[in-house]
Amino acid sequence: MAFLLYTWEFCSQDGRGGKVWKARGACRNPSLGYNDDVMKVPFKRFSEEFYYYSSQLAVFFILIIFLTSGSLAMGLTSSLVVVAFMVLQTVLLVSQGHLPILRFLFSLITPVGYSILRAATSSLDFTETTNVLLWGAAVYIGFFQAVSLSLRVGLFKRVAEAALSLGSAVIFFGFYYYLDLRLGLTRAFQAGTLPREAYIAGLKIGSFGIGLRTFISSPQHLFALLGILSFDAMLLASRMRALNLKTRLDQLIETPASPEAYPLETSALTASDPAEAARPPTRHLITAVSSDIVGFTALSEMIGTQKSVDFLNRYYTFWTHAASSQGGRISSITGDSVIMLFGLVDEGQNPERALFAAYFFQDQLQGFREDLAAMSLPADFKISIGVHTGTVISALLGPPGEQKRNVFGDTIAVAARLDSLCRELHQELLVSHATFRRLSLESQATLERIGEVLLRQSTRPVPVYSRK
């Protein structure tokens, strides 16, 4: 699901005389598809942006507005105005926030909207704690996000991410403390035990830290602080894993693969090598993994040629890393389809290694999506994976003078069939029974049987399994 914001223009008439409308720019350069003026905002990225960086501001804004509006109608109206600013800010951050300067500037949209609202409906005091906290939080988060985006993966980027994570936790706790402080001041003022002058002074930033030590010493508040820090630590750990993944992908892209990494694909293994030419065709028990990007054709038409190439190269590198981590290799690449083989060099535990490679890919997929989003590449996509175990024949194949050792057999076709069945069965991973029965009990426990299908050269339906 995504929000699509674009302008339309009349291109031509179809064969029946009807008008053909396309996104502006697509008529002049059809190869660009919707790439010129389309701003695609994936709903998943929108929700993540709002949840991780804006939800605390939204709650704080709305609570403060209701505490200071004086009436339900005014509070509701003001809240809707602020939420509208926040939605606009989030949409712009998701669509254009990969640029550091825009990331910083767009982070200020909601505080600017709040200040305009306060100036229009009441007096605006810039020394009031509410205003200082909102502006301070927006500037801090926007600044460190922009710094993180402008740096390559390294020590300083990790420092920026740590500062962003720690700062977010401190900001959230500061909001929490100020809400409690303001509620206490309001109750005391309404009860007549606090003079108006003292009430106004208590709302200024200069009085912010007066009761902080007492507030933290309370057991329930200390528990809330520990909960905030724990949640923040999990987010930081997830972000660091994504950065580590990006580092490995960059290294794989920038460093050419050594011949030893793929021993069956090197030019040395040709018919010109007497030892290799003398080797007869051999059978291997292998596990094949087939993977596709769901709907990639439509996606490539939308994002354009160059971004499609960049996207696929990152995707291939990601799978190369996943396969090589378990001793497998990429056998073939056709468009967005990737075939990996496990067991050609070492047949031991090849079903386990193939399954772990698929799990690794799935577990690291969110980090891969963040890496793509940082490069302004599509991050809202689905992957289908098929895993099957069987025999293949390894032999010198190819035209005279260009023969190389390669493999063929139904095992690869069955893995590809399982890959395609993922769409029909609404699964991301399908494992054949031939692979399942060769797994350890621990690995089998991670899978669940979802039904039976008719596979290539099978006379009756066989069970298939998916990850729990």
Instruction: Give the tens place of pLDDT for each residue, 351-377.
Output: 899 999 999 888 877 777 776 776 667
CATH of domain 274-467: 3.30.70.1230
Q: Which two three-digit tokens encode residue 146?
A: 């922009």
Q: Which of 368, 355, 455 is nearest to 414 (CA)?
A: 455
- pLDDT score for 355: 92
Residue (of 157, 61, 27, 36) closest to 100 by Cα position: 157
Res 40: pLDDT: 47
- Tell the burial category of 247 from Cβ atoms under 10 Å away from its Cβ (0-12, 13-18, 19+): middle
Token pair, residue 249, equals 């992908």
**pLDDT at site 326:** 82
Domain ranges of the chain: 2-37, 40-250, 274-467
pLDDT at 242: 66
| 388 burial level (CB within 10 Å; 0-12, 13-18, 19+) | buried
Q: What is the pLDDT of residues 105-117, one digit of tens each?
A: 988 888 888 888 8
Closest CA to 383 of 448, 455, 449, 322: 322
What gap in Å lies between CA 304 and CA 231, rounded to an integer?
Answer: 38
Mean pLDDT of 295-305: 81
Question: Is 19 a residue whose pLDDT tops 50?
Answer: no
**CA 345 from centre of chain:** 34
Are 128 and 203 spatial neighbours (Cβ–Cβ below 8 Å)? yes
pLDDT of 223-260, one tens digit each? 888 887 887 787 777 777 666 666 665 655 555 444 34
Residue 125, strand partner residues: none
What is the model's pTM?
Answer: 0.54
Answer yes or no: is pLDDT of 430 > 90. Answer: yes
pLDDT at 277: 53
**Region 307-329 average pLDDT:** 83
306-343 burial, b if ≥16 CB within 10 A, otherwise e? Answer: ebbeebbebbbbbbbbbbbebbbbbbeeeebbbbbbbb
* 136: amino acid identity, one letter: G
Opening angle at CA 346, ends 341 and 347, nearest 5: 75
Checking if the pLDDT of 165 tops 60, the result is yes
Per-residue model confidence (pLDDT) at position 47: 67
Average pLDDT, whole number, for the chain?
A: 75
